Copies of this chain bind each other. A is one copy, B any other.
Amino acid sequence: MEQPFALIVGTHVTATTLDEGAAVPVTIRDVARASGVHISTVSRTFSAPHLVNPETRVRVLACAEDLGYRPNRAARALITGRTHNIGLIIADIANPFFPPLIKAAEGQARHRDYHIFVADTNEDPVVEEELVHALAKQVDGVLLCSPRMSNSLIEQLSREVPLVVINRQVTGLPCVMMDVGQGARSAIEHLVGLGHTEIALLGGPRGSWTNREIRRSAAAAARTGGAELTVLGPNPPTEHGGGALAEQVQRAGVTAVLAYNDLMAIGLIEGLDALGVRVPQDVSVVGIDDIALSRLTRPKLTTVATPTAAAGRTAVDMLLQQDTDAPRGPRGAGRGTAAGARRTTAQVMLQTELVIRDSTGGVPSSGGPGAERVGPGPHRLADPGRPTAATGGVVAS
């Protein structure tokens, strides 16, 4: 698996030599020497300033500044037991659903003086587990985003390192979920309101909690609205996965489709277009997620907005909260403390919101009231991260 520079076929490589300054690592000891105090005083200057004489403090700080001293977090972690790092494990960074979440989490973490390890599992549950192990010793907690492994494995791993689960409900663990159930319901109601009675649901990946929620709620809403729901899937949650279903959708004879996510919806629209089926004239399509892309396609996608950024922020907060509640570290609870601390865990459900754009319309060749656009226009909030009203999602626990 050696793959050195042969990879860079057809490139221009220039080599130069550089006289590089001797990157002297300056430690707390250097600062102590320079300012004429003991290292412990320097340490306190940074970690407990109120314990040191103001005069001394400024002198130490000046020396530290001078020498360019920065505390070594690894050494600090060794003794305090906290690394000030967080792990973020993601199924697929390239899926446009995730970057806003990563960005929000990273910002929130940095704001609290934490750094984030990002890891991509390629939707592989085995890699997922491996990564939790690999990261465990190096972080104060892990954010598990749309995990594909089993709940029991997640519970087991949570004994190794504090976990916050995003986009999945695991009993006994802190979870951040988005109320896709409510979202799916709104979407179906919107379609029913437009007069559609034959609706297809494009299912997502098999292990997905989100997928189950959507399916359940959509089925219920269809029943209530007197519409028939045909479920197609499971499918890969990609543009390709959606496109591949175009023919099936056409054959099913439905007039409206709800897709597991925007990517699939967009893929489907592409696929239908290739078959000569027009959206929304012939078929209405609704996505879920409201990724940035969904505003840029034509027609613009009607979709259920999920508060991904808020989820990222909230998850970080929950992790850090939990971290403060039950401090670990070798100093405190010795290893003999046996049955560990009881901990309070919260599960949070974030609201979703239907955003009506141009990919949904009335039923074709039906002169009825459904032919007109129904419902409010685009009413997306400026910041999806700040939901304003409860969706009333129920959290069993």
Contacts and interface: CB of A to CB of B under 8 A. Distances in A.
Contact of A344 (B17, B71, B98, B338): B17
Contacts of A15: 344-346
Interface string A62-106: 000000101111110110000101000000111010111011001
Nearest to A171: B16
Copies in the complex: 2
Given A25-B330, A117-B115, A118-B106, A74 B137 contact: yes
Nearest to A389: B10
Given A93-B106, A119-B106, A387-B9, A16 B160 contact: no
A18 B342 contact: yes
Contacts of A296: 239, 266, 270, 293, 297
Interface residues of A, number: 110
Interface of A: 1, 3-5, 7-25, 68, 70-75, 77-78, 83, 85, 92-94, 96, 98-100, 102-103, 106-107, 110-111, 115-120, 122, 133-138, 158-161, 171-173, 239, 266, 270, 292-293, 296-298, 310, 313-314, 317, 321, 328, 330, 333, 335, 337-351, 386-395, 397
25 contacts: A4-B317, A7-B314, A7-B386, A9-B386, A12-B395, A13-B346, A16-B171, A20-B342, A22-B333, A22-B335, A22-B339, A22-B340, A23-B160, A68-B160, A70-B133, A74-B74, A74-B78, A74-B83, A74-B138, A93-B102, A93-B106, A94-B99, A94-B103, A96-B293, A115-B138
